[in-house]
């Protein structure tokens, strides 16, 4: 009779241990599978539908202004005198615009005369009306070359509409004596249209 490790009694134990291990593994695997299925909440069905939107085209608008030439009266200025002239501003873009003064560029050469000038702008009418641009018009915006700041001058200018502006230049009543005999040329008033 064989004893020890190779005895028949011992061999049955090994087979029993192997069978028990396999059953334990199978039970553990079945339990894990049950936990996964139960925790997933059952089966899920995803319903899905889609439709294509019609093709669309988007285009940007344009903001474009045209301004007629400004021709001020050719008269000598003296302290307190205001000269004025009209300009026409037309919205040739395709969006409504609010007019404003964005800059007042000083003359190329600064003189005592240019330092004593103020420039004003007012909307006085629309094309087709007969507005008068004179020294008596009250400007919506007035600045000097030294203190020029941005400022609004009108309500909304519709697409294709035109406004008449009155531009006035005044020599201050307190202009110094040395402003005599000088000129102020090549200055610019920059009118801007901002989409509202």
CATH architecture of 65-195: Sandwich (2.60)
CA-to-CA distance for 120 and 80, rounded, in angstroms? Answer: 14
Say what the pLDDT of residue 4 is: 58
What is the per-residue pLDDT for 174? Answer: 92
- At 35 the pLDDT is 62
- Give tens-digit pLDDT for 105-116: 998 888 898 899
CA distances from 124 to 85, 105, 131, 165 (A): 11, 23, 6, 6
- Determine the pLDDT at residue 118: 93
Cα Rg of the chain, angstroms: 44
pLDDT, greater one: 186 or 81: 81
Instruction: Give the pLDDT confidence score for residue 149 in this predicted structure.
Output: 86
Give residue limits of the domains in the chain. Answer: 4-39, 65-195
pLDDT score of 80 more than 90:
yes
Distance between CA atoms of residues 175 and 184, nearest Å? 14
Mean pLDDT, range 56-77, rounded to an integer: 88
What is the tens place of the pLDDT at every residue in 13-35? 555 557 777 777 777 777 776 66
Residue, of 2 and 173, whose pLDDT is higher: 173
Confidence of residue 129 (pLDDT cuts 50, 70, 90): confident
Q: Which residues pair with 126 in a beta bridge?
A: 163
- Strand, coil or helix: 8: helix
Tell me the average pLDDT of the chain: 83
- Predicted confidence at residue 17, as pLDDT, reads 56
What are the residues whose beta carbons fall under 8 Å from the beta carbon of 100, sequence distance 6 or more?
Answer: 141, 150, 151, 152, 153, 154, 191, 192, 193, 194
- Give the pLDDT of residue 25: 73
pLDDT digits (tens, 9 = 90+) for 140-178: 999 998 888 888 887 789 999 999 999 999 999 999 999
Q: What does the pLDDT average to over 91-108? A: 91
């Amino acid at each position: 009779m064989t004893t020890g490790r190779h005895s028949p009694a011992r061999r049955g134990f090994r087979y029993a241990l192997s069978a028990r291990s396999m059953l334990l593994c199978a039970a553990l695997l079945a339990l894990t599978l049950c936990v996964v299925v139960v925790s997933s909440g059952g089966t899920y069905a995803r319903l899905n539908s889609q439709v294509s939107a019609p093709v669309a085209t988007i285009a940007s608008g344009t903001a474009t202004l045209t301004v007629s030439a400004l021709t001020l009266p050719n008269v000598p200025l003296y302290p307190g005198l205001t000269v004025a002239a009209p300009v026409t501003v037309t919205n040739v873009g395709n969006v409504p615009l609010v007019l404003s003064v964005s800059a007042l560029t000083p003359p190329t050469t600064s003189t005592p005369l240019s330092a004593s000038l103020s420039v004003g702008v007012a909307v006085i009418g629309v094309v087709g009306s007969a507005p008068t641009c004179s020294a008596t018009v009250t400007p919506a915006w007035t600045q000097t070359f030294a203190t020029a700041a941005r400022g609004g001058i009108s309500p909304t200018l519709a697409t294709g509409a035109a406004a008449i502006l009155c531009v006035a230049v005044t020599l201050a009543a307190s202009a110094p004596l040395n402003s005599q005999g000088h000129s102020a040329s090549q200055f610019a008033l920059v009118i801007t249209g901002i989409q509202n």
